[in-house]
Amino acid sequence: MREENDMSPTSEIRIPQDDERIDVTDLKEVDYWTQWFGVSEERLRTAVASAGTVKDDLRIYLGLP
C-alpha cells in the first residue's frame, strides 16, 4: 500500500519559484528545465556553465527560438 506522501520518481515536476533563472543545485528544477528546453541534463549544465542562469540567455545559447 502506498502512503499519501510518497515522493516517488513519477511525481509531478514542480514549476520553479523563479521562472527566469535556473538553479542547477535543485534537482527538481533541473528536471523541469531539461524538459522545458528539450535537452539532456549534461547539456543544460554545460549551457549554464557557459551562459549563466538566465532563461533567455540559455535559450539563445542553446539555439532555441
Kindly report, residue by residue over 42-56, the tens digit of the pLDDT.
Answer: 999 999 999 999 999
Could you give the 3-state DSSP secondary structure of residue 29? helix
Is residue 13's pLDDT more than 60?
yes
pTM of the model: 0.76
Confidence of residue 16 (pLDDT cuts 50, 70, 90): confident
Q: What integer best gives the mean pLDDT of the chain?
A: 85
d(CA 41, CA 39): 7
For residue 48, what is its C-alpha cell?
A: 549554464
The residue whose grid cell reads 551562459 is: 51
d(CA 62, CA 23): 17
Residues contacting residue 22 through CB under 8 Å, at least 6 positions apart: 16, 29, 33, 44, 48, 53, 55, 58
Confidence of residue 1 (pLDDT cuts 50, 70, 90): very low
